[in-house]
Structure 1
Amino acid sequence: MSDTVCAIEAYFQRASASRLTLPRTQLFDYQPNRFLRSVIGHLLAANAVPDVTEKDRAIPLDDALRAYVLDPSATLPDQVCVYYWFYPHRRRVVMKHSAMGFCGGNGAAIYGHVFKFFPFGFWVVWDEHGDRSNHFNLRRLADSTPTISASARLVLDLSQLPPADFPEAPTDNGMWLVTDYLVSQAEDRTKPVTPI
C-alpha cells in the first residue's frame, strides 16, 4: 500500500515482539495526499462488478473519490470525510455502500465505505448531515494542501479502541445496512502443523 502503512505496521510488530509499553498516542510522519490517495485507490479497486460494468451508473461517492485519486492537484471533496482508528486485528474487511442507521433517528444515517486491515480501520463517509459520527471519537484524515508531497504528523490513538467489529455491529440504538455482494472479509490462514 503506502510506505506509511508499512512503517506503522513494522513499528507495531517490533513493539509487540519486544513487549514494550507504548504511549497512549503515537505520532508518525506521513504525506496526507499520498496516503489518502493510496487508501482510497485500494478501496476503489474493491468495486463490485456492477459498479464497473454499468456505464450509466452514477455513484456520487465513488465518482468523487475517483476524481480525487486521478487528479494529483485535487483536494479531498468537501462531502467526503475519512475517519480512521488503530485496528490491531488480522481480519481484513471491505464494505462498500453501507450505512449505519439509528432507531428513533428520523431517517438519519451515516453512509459510506468501510475498509479495515492491520494497522488501520477507515470509514469513508459521504455527505454526513448532523454530528452522529462525533460520538465515536474517531480521528479524521484530511489533506489541507493540494501539494502532493506535503508532510504532516499522523496521530494514532492506542487507548479506547473501537471493538473489532466496529462500525458494522452498532450499539443498541443502531443498525447496519449493507448488501452482501458488496462485503468481503478475509483472515490470515493458520499455518499447518508439520508432523515430526
Structure 2
Amino acid sequence: MFNLIDLLAVEHPQKKQRGRSSQGGVKYRTICKRCNGRVLGESYDKDFKKFTDQTHKILNSLTLLALPSTLSIAVKPQRVMRAIIGHLCSVGVNRYQKGPHTEEIKSYILDPKLNLPSFINIYYWVYPYKRQILIRDAVLKDLGCEGQAYFWLMKFYPIAFFVVWDNPINYTFPNLQKLSRYRNASIDDVVELPLDLKKLPPECWPEQPTGSSIICYGNGSMGATESAKKRTIF
C-alpha cells in the first residue's frame, strides 16, 4: 500500500518505492466502527457487494471475441449510493471538523426516505485493473475550464466510483455513466444499471495529472497494487 503520490511515482521512479504489505486483502484505516459495521454493513453493503460481484462475474465470463458494447445489471441504486458515500465518509482518522454539507450527508445515509442531495453527483465505470485507489478530498483543475471540481474516488476491480461535489461549472463527464440520475428513487427501487464495456477512461484517470490538468489531494489518499513476486497487496 502506498500514499497516492508515491504510487503514481512508481510509474517513473527515481528510486525504488516500498509500500506497506497487507495479507488477506487491502486494509485502510477508517473511523466509526459502529457506522461501518451496523449502518453500512447491515443496511447497504449487501446490495453494494451484489452489484460488484455481478459485474465481476460478467467480466470474467466475457471474451474479447464476443465483447458487447453494453450490458446491464439489476441494482437498488439508493442502497448502492449510500454505501459508496458512507464508506468514503469513513476514510481516515481524526476527522472531527464539520463541512458545509456534513449534516445533509449524515441525514441521507441514516434516513432511507431521503433523496440523494442535489450537490452530489456519482459516476461509475467498469474498471478492469488490479490497482486500487481510495481518495477523499481532492480537487481536479482542468486548465481549459473555469473553476475546479472537488471529488472523492474509489476504484477497485471491477468498478470505479467518482463522486463530484457542488456541480462545478463547465465540468462534464459525458463518457461516464451517472449513478446519481436515480437520486429520487425509493430505497428499494430496482433499476437496470447500464455497464459500458468499451468507452473506458485511462487506468490512472482522474487521479493522475495530465498536461492539461492539475490534481490536489487531501490527507489519506491511498493506493494499492499487487506484488508481481509474492502476489500480495502492497
Pair in the same fold by TM > 0.5: yes
TM-score range, shorter chain: 0.7 to 0.9
User: Distance in 1 between the 2:203 and 2:135 partners?
Assistant: 14
Q: Kindly tell me: are residues 62 and 116 of structure 1, through their superposed partners in 2, closer, same or farther at Cα, counting changes over 3 Å? A: farther
Summarize the alignment of residues 40-189 of structure 1 with structure 2, pairs less than 5 Å apart: 40-46=85-91, 48-51=92-95, 54=96, 57-103=97-143, 105-106=145-146, 108-134=147-173, 137-142=175-180, 143-179=182-218, 181-189=219-227
Q: In 2, distance between residues paired with 1:185 and 1:147?
A: 34
Normalized against structure 1, the TM-score is what? 0.83
Deviations for 1:162-181, whole angstroms, at most 9, x for unmatched residues? 111100124422111113x3
Partner deviation per Cα, 1:20-56 (whole Å, 9 max, x = no partner): 522011111111111111222222222x2231xx2xx
The aligned counterpart of 1:28 is 73
Distance 1:122 1:63, change over 3 A: farther
Runs of 4+ in 1 over 4 A off after TM superposition: none
Tell me, in whole angstroms, the C-alpha distance in 2 between the residues paired with 1:26 and 1:102. 31
CA 1:9 to 1:77, structure 2 compared with 1: closer, same or farther past 3 Å? Answer: same
In the TM superposition, residue 137 of structure 1 has moved relative to its aligned partner by: 1.9
CA RMSD of aligned residues (A): 2.2
Task: Structure 1: state its 5+ residue gaps.
Answer: none
**Partner-residue secondary structure (3-state), 1:49:** coil
Match of 2:53 in 1: 6
For the 8 Å contact 2:145–2:170, the answer to whether it is kept is: no
Count of residue pairs brought into register by the alignment: 183
Gaps of 5+ in 2: 1-44
Q: Give the 3 Å change call, closer, same or farther, for CA 145–24 of structure 1 in structure 2.
A: same
Percent identity over the alignment is: 28
Secondary structure of 1:68's counterpart equals helix
The structure with the largest strand share of the pair is 1
- In the other structure, the counterpart of 2:5 is none
Letter in 1 for 2:123: Y
